[in-house]
Chains A and B, each alone.
Chain A
């Protein structure tokens, strides 16, 4: 019997893929192991494996030798991998000889205790998983629908804004094709006890090594939600995502404080060495809220526009620009004589301004204000 296998994830690499997962035409998973390289050809042995057993192996709970010594299906397939398209042939013996088996004690990595569920989910979805658990003072595994809805919405908006900032901070190439909803939106697929625990998965793009791009946002978010051990370093952290992310964070912590909620944030992705976990309760939220309010400029960021001015009022200190990048109009304020002598419609300008985000007390809506810092003429408008 022959089957076609498609490599899913390389779990161990040493000059060659040493251990990897693959799937067949009906999505059965296989664990594949390099056994020897002879006459320039790498030879592999593989066996079907369930998600549960695979997550045990990935989580360091199961010895590699055991998987091949006591396979779940008593079936093996062998192949020589030279091309991406793998055709494996059934190995006709029920047990493997010693030379095809690993020695006892090969553990993929140190075990992450009590986190089987989230690891297994990340294997199933092949991407990052988030568990967001919300509880109130009743702490009885239920939650007001409004509170749950608000927390989920604020969390998603915050992840989106932090992700976008991190793509820029880390100078990720192909910014445009990276900042797309697929890479930062999460989808709920399950819930469980432990407060009201919503399970979400990401469909973000993954790189060569199996890292999901959403991880850069989740990593930063996790640090921001962590306990404040040094105010200075936490402010530095917040400065790196200042603007919309911080204003959404303010809303989130205020929600937690006002409703006395507790939010447990847990996430994991296939290549992570550990499950990341933070609990934001009333006390932590208060500390964070005080810190956020101690620095006004955290809700500010610098914004650049390029295009022609549509309207200018020097006396009132107001302006409106048609921004060529997104073909939208933006209006703002100015102080001093910065607008003196500027021309509308016919000349293109580069405007650098401070973007201030204010949260309206009652509606909680954000109001964005642009304050002109500098204006430079950049040629005629066409």
Chain B
């Protein structure tokens, strides 16, 4: 074959090859896509949807009466640890969703014992800074971490004024079925959202009430008939770091 023949031949071959590859690609694409198209029809018809969840008309909140909080009492902390499967350890790398903070005013010497957890702010700085939107505020005011999207950057931990968030530093085992949590994600108090969605209250409030301290109250701040709404209407209550204007859903009485 002369060079000219080879050139012509290869050019023809080239266009022939191209045509064939194009056809083959179309064929393979069709073979791969067709089952998916068929299955999408099935999927949409199959399993009916779940029940409606959080309502924007509700705003869950806590009212904590610090005059009834005894120093050294950790009923709320223990209940939280048990309910959520936390280790209860106090190493700097252990997760703590709620802790008792013993405070003493410098000038007057007045001491108190205060449980501090995620304040479930209406304007949460942790939600603003999360790059993936994993830290989010639910319609009913509960601030949560969607661990499916959390990449573990810890920016929300930097942003929270209350040190409410913890980062999971080690692999975890034996998590509670209702409370999935794992290494590399950030977590914090969920107001026991898995219990709230069943009509119950948070474990800490239940434990405090059961033990007779009556220091914690949970309810819907938006419902004027609820006990919590009536109490914050009547009594003087404060929010932690109210100057930051984050409007937390957790209020304190007696501070």
Q: Do A and B bind each other?
A: no
